[in-house]
């Protein structure tokens, strides 16, 4: 699980795992290029707000018990990468049901001068087209990925696991920023 700030987040995250599936909002499956790529990669789609998170959690648990990894962004949105937004824990039930650890990670896109990139994040009113153009036009940005200590869900409720993950990711993002930024991001 990671924070999501850029349309390119899947690449640094997916590069750290083998035999994995991505979870994505359903509308991405309808996009002309990304949709085809997502379907080809075996992405699991979820219709946000439809109430199907429980069935998706069961599907994720099935993948997990078969030894696959599932990558998703528990904030359920993209951000500017400066802080962790509220985590939505419904899908964490899959880790509890499958009795597998949650392996959080955080990402930071850093400019050559050591500042947090404000060009790459895809959030707010930015369109996908504008975001892709920014990604293609931006040079000298490095993606830093910090895998965090896995969380064993054994004995935890969904709410407890969500709170623990929230704290772990907030601490992890602060740690990553302290390692790679020469200027502290304004929150």
Q: What is the pLDDT of residues 153-163, one digit of tens each?
A: 999 999 999 99
d(CA 67, CA 79): 30
User: Backbone phi, then psi, for 90, in 5-degree steps?
Assistant: -55, -45
The torsion region of residue 166 among left (phi > 0), alpha (psi -120 to 50) and beta comes to alpha
**pLDDT attached to residue 173:** 94
Summarised one tens digit per residue, pLDDT across range 144-155 is 999 999 999 999
Tokens, residue 142: 């490095």
**pLDDT attached to residue 13:** 54
List of the chain residues with pLDDT < 70: 1-18, 48, 50-51, 76-77, 122-123, 126, 184-187
% the chain with pLDDT above 70:
81
Domain boundaries, the chain: 10-180
């Amino acid at each position: 699980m990671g924070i999501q700030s850029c349309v390119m987040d899947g690449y640094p995250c997916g590069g750290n795992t083998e035999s994995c599936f991505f979870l994505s909002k359903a509308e991405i499956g309808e996009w002309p290029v990304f949709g085809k790529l997502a379907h080809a990669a075996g992405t699991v789609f979820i219709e946000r707000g439809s109430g199907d998170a429980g069935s998706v959690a069961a599907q994720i648990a099935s993948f997990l018990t078969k030894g696959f990894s599932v990558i998703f962004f528990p904030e359920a949105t993209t951000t500017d990468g400066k802080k962790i937004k509220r985590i939505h824990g419904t899908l964490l039930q899959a880790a509890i049901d499958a009795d597998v650890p949650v392996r959080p990670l955080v990402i930071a896109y850093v400019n050559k001068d050591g500042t947090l990139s404000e060009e790459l994040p895809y959030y707010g009113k930015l369109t996908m087209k504008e975001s892709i153009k920014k990604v293609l036009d931006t040079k000298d940005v490095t993606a830093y990925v910090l895998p965090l200590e896995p969380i064993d869900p054994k004995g935890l409720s969904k709410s407890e696991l969500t709170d623990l993950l929230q704290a772990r990711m907030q601490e992890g993002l602060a740690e990553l920023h302290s390692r790679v930024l020469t200027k502290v991001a304004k929150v």
